Amino acid sequence: MIEHSRQDNGLRRGENPPLLKTPQLMNLKVLLPFRIFAEKTGVTRIVAETREGSFGILPRRLDCVAALAPGILIYENEIEGEVYLAVDEGVLIKTGLDVLVSVRNAIAGTDLGKLRDSVEREFLNLDEREQSVRSALAKMESGFIRRLAEFHHD
């Protein structure tokens, strides 16, 4: 005997379709002082470092704010897999499914060894720039003091 009580979609008459639970995914935005460094959707997890240690963020975690220490921030999504960000100190804010990270500097990578090399190169460049800025400031200060001494003697 053929049963005709099922519709084409496999449901019996009067039966509601099962609710499909779509996984909740986070939106991550990483801000630098003068630009948006990264804007990612579909993020499944984030691991960040504070001065007290590392902590993980999943989509259902309660909203929070954390002061970030310089270190590695990890996020994962289906497209890129696990991605590492070397970040300077900053702040992380989670509200709902949105995670906002604001840091002074960031470098991205998928290989920790290559990321380490990139960070070392970046810090060497910063040291060279910092030395040239300090040298220029020292020259300006000495010139200012010399002019002030001349003005005082006149």
Model's pTM, two decimal places? 0.65
Structurally, the chain folds into a number of domains equal to 2
Please report the beta strands in the chain, taking only residues with DSSP state E, as ranges in sequence order: 26-32, 35-50, 53-57, 64-68, 71-77, 81-87, 90-95, 98-103, 106-109
104, 31: one domain: yes
40, 105: one domain: yes
87, 32: one domain: yes
Proportion of the chain above pLDDT 70, given as a percent: 75
Domain containing 126 equals 113-154
pLDDT digits (tens, 9 = 90+) for 56-114: 999 999 999 999 998 889 999 988 889 999 898 899 999 999 999 999 888 887 777 77
Phi and psi angles of residue 52, each rounded to the nearest 5 degrees, phi first: -85, -10
The answer to whether position 1 is within a domain reads no
100, 131: one domain: no
96, 121: one domain: no
45, 77: one domain: yes
Q: Tell me the C-alpha distance between 106 and 99, whole Å.
A: 16
